[in-house]
Structure formats: C-alpha cells, structure tokens
C-alpha cells in the first residue's frame, strides 16, 4: 500500500509571520540539568496543561564527531548559563508547514 502524502496546511491562522512567532526565554539558551549534568542548547519548549513544562536540550557533538541524542527535561531542573542565546534566521524557511520527509 502506498503511503499517503499530506499536503502542508493552508490555514492562514497557522502561517508563521516573523512578528508573530511565539518564543520562550529558554529557546536558544545553553542549559545544564541540575541532576545529571547534561548540557546543551534548548531547541524546543512545550507547555502542558498539567504545568509540567519541558525543554528539549540538544548537546554538542562528541569529540569523535558523532551526534548525541537530545533529551527532554522538566523546566525547573535546568540551570541557564550566562551566555548569549543562539538565534537562527528563519525568514526564508517556513519550517513546520513543509510536509514531513517520507522514507
């Protein structure tokens, strides 16, 4: 059976405009988990109805050049480093409205 391709959304309310992009103060920040010492940059943030908000922490690649898996941490476990946050210019890439890759 062939896989169905889902077209990108066309809902204007969901379109990303630079002036309406929602951000969170942790996004782009270098953080360390207070319990494990896991360190990386926050690339995602999720707010749950229950209040257990989490941040996706992406570590740097290992010394051998291999990528390490990102991990989700409860927000209160993270210590924020006093470094400038990472920011990316996403003005030319819409991101989420692109269809998911199909293997």
Q: Higher confidence at residue 6 or residue 96?
A: 96
Q: Average the pLDDT over 65-71 and give the result.
A: 92
Confidence of residue 80 (pLDDT cuts 50, 70, 90): very high
**pTM exceeds 0.75 for this model:** no
Instruction: Please state which CATH number belongs to domain 23-80.
Output: 2.30.30.390
Pairing of strands 54-58, 78-80: unpaired
- Exposed, middle or buried, 38 (CB in 10 Å: 0-12/13-18/19+)? middle
pLDDT value at residue 2 = 53
Chain center to CA of 33:
16
Where do the structural domains in the chain lie, given as residue ranges? 23-80
Confidence of residue 12 (pLDDT cuts 50, 70, 90): low
Q: Which among 23, 22, 26 has a CA at the least distance from the CA of 75?
A: 26
């Amino acid at each position: 059976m062939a896989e169905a391709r889902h077209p990108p959304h066309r809902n204007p309310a969901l379109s990303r405009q630079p002036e309406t992009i929602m951000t969170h103060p942790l996004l782009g920040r270098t953080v360390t988990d207070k319990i494990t010492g896991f360190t990386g940059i926050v690339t995602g943030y999720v707010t749950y109805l229950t209040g257990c908000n989490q941040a996706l922490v992406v570590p740097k690649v290992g010394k051998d050049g291999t990528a390490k898996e990102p991990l989700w941490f409860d927000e209160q476990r993270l210590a924020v480093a006093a470094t400038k946050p990472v920011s990316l210019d996403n003005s030319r890439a819409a991101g989420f409205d692109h269809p998911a890759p199909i293997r």
